[in-house]
A and B are shown apart, each in its own frame.
Chain A
Amino acid sequence: MEALISIVLGTLTACGVYLILRFRTFPVVLGLTFLSYAANLFLLVMGRLTIGKPPVITEGVTDYADPLPQALVLTAIVIGFAMTAFVIMLSLKAYAALGNDHVDGKHKL
């Protein structure tokens, strides 16, 4: 399972990196979304993989998943959304102002 998760993480990161190197704003936003998926997942698994032990205190249970990375990731997801929203609005604004959606603000031929 650890190997599988590592491969998933690698794939997400590679996809994200490839996309943020593109020329147009929309793929770059998609790439950023990929990178935040990867970062969130990476943070979570730093608490190691635990199956079926959610950190909700229950009587008679002593073994729980690490709640700290989860708390970190929860806010990271929401902030990530705010960031994605901000970047996509910025690209809209740039598109309106510059007449094209090139990341450098100009058409390159």
Chain B
Amino acid sequence: MNLLLISLTPFIGAIFTAAISRLGRLHSAWAAVVVTSLALLLLLPLVPDVFAGQVLIQRFSWIPMAGLDVAFRLDGFALLFALLILGIGLLIVIYARYYLSERDDMGRFYAYLLLFMGSMLGIALSENIIQLLIFWEFTSLSSFLLISYWQHRQESRNGARMALAVTGAGGLALLGGFLLLGEIVGSYDLSVILASGDIIRADPLYRPMLILVLLGAFTKSAQFPFHFWLPNAMAAPTPVSAYLHSATMVKAGVFLLARLFPALSGTPEWFWLVSMTGLTTLLLAAYIALFKHDLKGLLAYSTISHLGLITLLFGIGTPLAAVAGVFHMINHAIFKASLFMAAGIIDHETGTRDMRRLSGLWMFMPYTASLAMVAAASMAGVPLFNGFLSKEMFFTETLLRTDEVWGWLLPAAATMAGIFAVAYSLRFVHNVFFNGMPVNLPKTPHEPPRWMKVPMEVLVALCLLVGIFPAITVEPILAVAAASVLQAPIPEHDLAIWHGFNPAVWMSMIALIGGALVYLNRRPLFRLHYQLISHLEFKKVYNYLLEQLFRFSVQVTKALNPNSLQRMVFVFIIFILVLGVSGFSGGEVLLTGHRELLPVDGVSLLVALVLMISAVGTVFLHKQRFVALILLGAVGLGISLIFIKFSAPDLALTQLSVEVVTIVLLLLALYFLPQHSPTESSKLRQYRDLMVALAVGGGVAVLAWAVLTRPYETIADYFLANSVTGGGGTNVVNVILVDFRGYDTLGEITVLALAGLGIYAMLDHLHLTGTSHDASGRFWDHDMHPVFMASFTRLLLPLALLVAIFILLRGHNLPGGGFIAGLITAVALIMQYLANGVTWTQSRLPANIHSIIGFGLLIAVSTGLASWLFDHPFLTSTFSHIHWPLVGEFELASAMAFDLGVYLVVVGATLLILINLGLVHSMTLLPKTKKHSRKWKH
């Protein structure tokens, strides 16, 4: 028994099918046949157990803390559904092979179809309802892909989006309902839920839960008023419609009603909500179906109507009604799939689906016509066909409440719907196959290829077999399925064609004769319909709502977004200022604390003064960008000195190397940008900004003063105490980075890698032209790579790399580590680029920079994963002391491997950023200099 494998087979098969389609167009069709058959073969050995009355449950631990398991369940009803999904699926796969044209990508089609099949199987076989919901959403997503299969068509995209919006919204409601249900029962297991019907119905949360669950089921099964998505989903290729709207997608909703029937039904709320929705849908859709000129449109509304019928049966809520509901699910799946296939064949052979042009096809394709007529008769509920049996059971069930005042309403409405069902079935047959000659067909029709008819033949044969010999064909599976729906022994019922002259027979007779009369008088009815009612469309309401939503969001965006970065930044800063000021005001706390202050020494004062003068200088000279940049570099160096002064050697080293890289980067960028900023802001604006800047600066200074003069308690003692014993290193900062907070560091280097890749993507296809001269109008030096500098940096490279390795290795114990070593290496290599040119260096650097980044991340992650091998949590580090000859005792920590990963990512990302900008640079520079030198020669 492996239910997980059965559900996963289509998913895995989808990947396989998509891959194999590269070898040949039809390979994917064969692959899909194999995959579907494989799932069926896996399922078949379990059939005897289920027929013996067992419920097979397979369980894997998922999130035990939340009480969630991945659990699958196979009982009679699940088996019935799985057989329908896979059986009809197999027929659809064969049919679609002949339906799709040369231009359609078969691999994509079958991959989507299998994804959808797997999701449906998941719904049918889920024991855990949260897991069921996940598969439920998967069906919404994969049906979106299927409906929009012809992506170039506007109507396909719109139809797919509408289906996703409606069923997706229903899925959200269902999630809410399931969470409430789980809350009420205390378990998400179907077995527990089905057994606690009484608790559920007595709970105060019953009503909201019921409404949410029903919203999910009704949207999926296209019940009024959510039915409008289904006709619009007809933009899908016909095999998709045949699958989605017969055995699968829309059946998921009624599947859910049936599945939760023992737990939720039996209350007035259930009766009124479910049966009224079902009744409205049944009547309305049967009526609309008659007036549709599109062949698939007619079938779409007929599908909605039949789903309404099934919903109504579950709403009525008697055990026998539930049996009839399950029975009609089977029958509808069989005849509707074959009718859609017929519609597909007609469309395929004639090039149109418009019934105003289609007539008299009997003479072109009598065989297909006969098959379609059998299926249509089944849809109409003609005796000897399977649809008749379940429909008669339905009629019988509507008569149960005739003793009440409004009790006659239900059978009357049911008969009315029956009349329309007969009428539209008659229209489908008479209009298309007889009724004179076809009008202006794009193609001359003829019978389709042999194997396109085989799936239809199978289904039509089933219609007849079930219709004539119900007791030996459908009864066994219906019995186990109905028993598992009811969670009780099934009531006495008799699947026979003739029960004597009871009211149900009279209702059937009225429906048949009435339907024929309606069809005969269709012309005045059509006129009336198109004058009065055809304007009422729910699609319009949906579109109107959608439009309003878009308009609202545009207005909100407009109100919040002034479309100006400057204004937004200004508002942001003012906001911070207000927050800061309000934090200071109020409360009688002194600004200055009691901490003992440090004396100022001369050197510090000097450094601080130089730093501040450079900073202010940068601001004053910011319009001369080059000068401002140089001054900024001075500020950065000042910051490094402050880091050294206040006992942070690691930070000083990092700041120093980052400063170099940043300045080089900004210089490179400045080459492409204007060399000056124009004066744009008015004096007033400048004063305003100055005031704001001084206020914020003053606030920060006051805040810093208030904090710095107060004593504090630190949590650092833990790190200081455990650094050597727990992390195996004496440099506490580095041990924190690679060990205590290694997970944070892993995130940070990932960000760095992503920033590098993002920049790479931005620079792709970037065309910029640099200036040919500097800010003061002098041309660039002709000698781009002075020999002296080039040879000197080449000599320097090994030395610099050696320093980097030294810094990397000692990082665990003395200032240094992966970040700093990476930056030093990057600086060393960038120096080569600067001195020797990009082409020279690029040809001598063997490695691909992207793979360095990837490799670094891989090392870091696998160091973390390695601790799993020893049953430790992710990124647990270990260390030991190794005695090396000559070197002496040497400490080896696993965190050092992590640091190596950090090192590689930093090197890779930094180089990626700078070199790619450098490449843009060299591409623009070369033609420029040539031009310039030519000019020079003249």
Contact = CB atoms under 8 A, between A and B. Distances in A.
Interface of B: 563-566, 569-570, 573, 595, 597-600, 604-605, 608, 611-612, 615-616, 618-619, 622, 625, 628-629, 632, 635-636, 639, 642-643, 645-651, 654-655, 658, 661-662, 665-666, 669-670, 672-674, 677-678, 680-681, 689-690, 692-694, 696-702, 704-705, 707-709, 712, 714-716, 719-720, 723-724, 730-733, 736-737, 741, 744-745, 748, 751-752, 755-756, 758-759, 762-763, 766-768, 813-815, 819, 823, 906, 909-910, 913, 917
Interface string A75-86: 101111111111
* Chain A at the B interface: SS class: helix
10 contacts: A8-B612, A11-B701, A12-B615, A15-B697, A23-B677, A50-B647, A51-B598, A55-B731, A68-B715, A84-B666
Task: Rank and list the top 6 A-B pairs by shortest CB-CB distance, nearest first.
Answer: A14-B697, A10-B701, A65-B647, A18-B693, A82-B755, A1-B598
Contacts of B715: 68
Given A67-B719, A68-B715, A14 B766 contact: no
Interface in A45-83: 45-58, 64-68, 70-71, 73-75, 77-83
Contacts of A26: 625, 669-670, 673-674, 677
B759 A10 contact: no
A54 B618 CA distance: 32
Contacts of A104: 563-566
A49 to B, nearest CB: 6
A95 to B, nearest CB: 6
A9 B716 contact: no
B647 A23 contact: no
Nearest to B822: A78
A73 B665 CA distance: 21
B701 A7 contact: yes
A89 B762 CA distance: 7
A98 interface: no
Nearest to B752: A82
A58 B731 CA distance: 9
A33 B662 contact: yes
Contacts of B570: 21
Given A12-B697, A13-B693, 20 more contacts: A3-B705, A10-B702, A18-B692, A21-B573, A26-B673, A34-B615, A34-B632, A45-B704, A54-B648, A55-B647, A57-B724, A67-B719, A67-B732, A70-B733, A80-B658, A83-B755, A86-B759, A88-B669, A92-B768, A95-B768
Interface of A: 1-15, 17-27, 29-30, 33-34, 37-38, 40-42, 44-58, 64-68, 70-71, 73-75, 77-86, 88-93, 95-96, 101, 103-104, 108
A23 B906 contact: no
Nearest to A10: B701
A15 B693 contact: yes
Given A30-B622, A37-B635, A7 B612 contact: yes
Contact of A55 (B564, B642, B720, B759): B720
A51 B615 CA distance: 24
Contact of B658 (A7, A18, A34, A81): A81
B566 A103 contact: yes
B906 A54 contact: no
Nearest to B562: A104
A96 B768 contact: yes
Contact of A10 (B629, B677, B704, B815): B704
Given A5-B708, A37-B636, A96-B767, A75 B716 contact: no
A79 B665 CA distance: 15
A93 B916 CA distance: 13
A58 B708 contact: no
A1 B708 CA distance: 10
Contacts of B699: 10
Contact of A90 (B661, B762, B814): B762
Given A13-B696, A41-B642, A30 B629 contact: yes
Contacts of A10: 697-702, 704
Contacts of A27: 622, 625, 628, 677
B751 to A, nearest CB: 6
A30 B636 CA distance: 12
Given A12-B615, A74-B737, A6 B708 contact: yes
Nearest to B755: A82
B694 A14 contact: yes
A81 to B, nearest CB: 5
Contacts of A21: 566, 569-570, 573, 689, 692-693
A7 B609 CA distance: 10
A91 B566 contact: no
Contacts of A48: 595, 708, 712
Contacts of B756: 82
Contacts of B662: 33, 81, 84-85
B665 A49 contact: no
A91 B670 CA distance: 10
Nearest to A95: B673
Contact of A6 (B565, B704, B723): B704
Contacts of A51: 598, 645-647
B597 A67 contact: no
Contacts of A84: 662, 665-666
A1 B693 contact: no
A71 B648 CA distance: 10
